[in-house]
Amino acid sequence: MTTYQVRLRSREEIADRTMAFHLEKPAGFQFKPGQYIDLALINPFETDSQGIVRTFSIASAPYEDELLVATRMRDSAFKRVLAALPLGTELKLDGPMGSFTLHRNTAKAAVFLASGIGITPFLSIVREAAKQKLNHQLYLFYSNRRPEDAPFLAALQDLSQSNPHFIFIPSMTEMERSKRNWLGERGFIDREMLVKHFCDLSGPIYYVAGPPAMVAAMQQMLAKAGVSEDDIRTEEFSGY
Ligand SMILES: Cc1cc2nc3c(=O)[nH]c(=O)nc-3n(C[C@H](O)[C@H](O)[C@H](O)COP(=O)(O)OP(=O)(O)OC[C@H]3O[C@@H](n4cnc5c(N)ncnc54)[C@H](O)[C@@H]3O)c2cc1C
């Protein structure tokens, strides 16, 4: 792991109360899709007891010329500062870290289970897989309350159209509160939803990322369905 100073290039809202931050990629910075970084504010104009560092999965893919992170904009001093930083401001970056990366055996499918902001490591993995034309069969189950809340929904739909190895199954849990139309799945990710899309639940390697409660719920669901612990990999976004 190395420490870098990187500039904020741009930021935009990508879903309800959710922002993406585009950072310079330092020369020589190499990472694997699924890894994360620590970002620290330098002399922020305000702080609170939670401090000036947060961990973020890298949502961009290694082939891209920038680093992308995305986060739910909760009311912490860190996020208020991040939302207001003048473009070009430097941040301290430590990384890359983590081993939440795609297995090598292309004969085994990968099943990604994400909700909300837990999508970030998977976006990096599926973008890089498409670019490198990897032969793994990839399934991404992605649950959100409404399409309005779902970061990168359109980008992922596009990717699944262009990559026959990538099956994308987004699901909405509160369409009654949405202003959009939705023809896809509804409800939380559960055993029935998985079985509908592939028959043998014990074949693939499962990857789960998100807030600790979501990770625990998915682990429990998979264990009940008879999936071996050895085939389940998790990344907890502690702090939510
Ligand atoms: C491996 C990993 C990957 C993550 N990826 C993402 C992501 O892609 N997008 C995203 O939105 N969130 C991600 N998180 C969670 C993120 O780091 C924040 O905890 C979360 O966004 C809540 O921050 P907050 O300012 O809204 O809340 P707050 O309540 O202000 O902060 C949450 C708590 O976590 C602590 N904390 C968070 N990060 C760190 C850190 N790096 N070092 C020390 N303490 C810390 C804070 O001090 C505080 O106690 C990830 C976490 C981990 C561990």
DSSP string computed for 151-191: TTHHHHHHHHHH-TTEEEEEEES-GGG-SS---SEES---H
As a whole number of angstroms, the distance between CA 150 and CA 200 comes to: 28
140 pLDDT higher than 90: yes
Distance 180 CA to ligand 1 centre (A): 30
Please provide the average confidence, as pLDDT, over all residues in the chain.
96
Residue 198 is predicted with a pLDDT of 78
**Once rounded to an integer, what is the mean pLDDT over residues 35-39?**
98
The 10s digit of each residue's pLDDT in 47-72 is: 999 999 999 999 999 999 999 999 99
- CA-nearest residue for atom 49, ligand 1, is 50
Average pLDDT estimate for 143-161? 97
Q: How far is the CA of 50 from the centre of ligand 1 (A)?
A: 9
Protein residues whose CB sits closer than 6 Å to any atom of ligand 1: 36, 38, 50-51, 53-57, 69-72, 74, 76, 78-79, 117, 120, 235, 237-240
Decide if pLDDT at 174 tops 80.
yes
**pLDDT (mean) for 223-238:** 96
C-alpha of residue 39 to centroid of ligand 1, in Å = 10
pLDDT at 146 over 80: yes
Main-chain dihedrals φ then ψ at residue 131, nearest 5 degrees: -60, -45
- Give the Cα separation of 59 and 34 in Å (integer): 8
Cis peptide before 212 (omega within 30 of 0): no
**Looking at ligand 1, which atom is closest to the CA of residue 100?**
1
